[in-house]
Amino acid sequence: MPEISRRAASLGTENAFVVLAEVNALAREGKDIISFCIGQPDFPAPQNVQEAAIRAIRAGKHGYTPSAGIDELREAAAKYLAGMRGGLPIRPQDVVVGAGAKPFIAYAILSTTEHGAGDEVIYPNPGFPIYESQIAASGARPVPIHLHEDRNFAFNIQDLEKLLNKRTRLLILNYPHNPTGGCLTRKDLEEVARLLDKHPQVWVYADEIYSRLVFDGAFFSIAQLPGMLERTIVSDGASKTWAMTGWRIGFASNPALAPVFTRWITNTESCASQISQWAALEAITGPQDAAEAMKASFLERRDLIVRLLNEVPGVSCQVPGGAFYAWPNVTEACRRVGAADSEEFRKRLLNDAGVAVLADIHFGMRVPGEGQHVRFSYAASKQAIEAGVQRMADFIRKNTRRAA
Give per-residue pLDDT as tens, 304-344. Answer: 999 999 999 999 999 999 999 999 999 999 999 999 999 99
pLDDT score at 404: 47
Q: In this structure, are residues 20 and 38 in contact, taking their beta carbons and an 8 Å threshold?
A: yes
For the chain, give the mean pLDDT: 96
Per-residue DSSP letter, 366: P
Q: Is the pTM of this model over 0.85?
A: yes
Decide if pLDDT at 37 tops 50.
yes
Decide if pLDDT at 385 tops 60.
yes
Q: In one letter, which amino acid is 114? A: E
Host H or E run for residue 357: none
CATH 3.90.1150.10 segments of the chain: 6-44+290-403
CATH 3.40.640.10 segments of the chain: 62-285
Q: In this structure, are residues 320 and 299 in contact, taking their beta carbons and an 8 Å threshold?
A: no
Give the confidence band of 359 by pLDDT, cuts at 50, 70, 90. very high
Decide if pLDDT at 349 tops 60.
yes
- Cα 112 to Cα 120, 145, 163: the distances in Å are 10, 19, 18
pLDDT in tens, 281-311: 999 999 999 999 999 999 999 999 999 999 9
Host H or E run for residue 261: helix 258-267
Decide if pLDDT at 126 tops 80.
yes
The CATH fold assigned to 6-44+290-403 is Aspartate Aminotransferase, domain 1 (3.90.1150)
CA quadruple 173, 81, 52, 259: dihedral positive or negative? negative
- Cα 10 to Cα 5, 133, 138: the distances in Å are 9, 8, 11
What is the rounded average pLDDT of the residues 45-63? Answer: 98
Name the CATH code of domain 62-285 (choices 3.40.640.10, 3.40.605.10, 3.30.390.30, 1.20.1250.20).
3.40.640.10
pLDDT score at 401: 63
- Cα 288 to Cα 47, 249, 291, 322, 378: the distances in Å are 11, 17, 5, 19, 22
Q: In this structure, are residues 389 and 309 in contact, taking their beta carbons and an 8 Å threshold?
A: yes
Decide if pLDDT at 241 tops 60.
yes
What is the rounded average pLDDT of the residues 49-65? Answer: 98
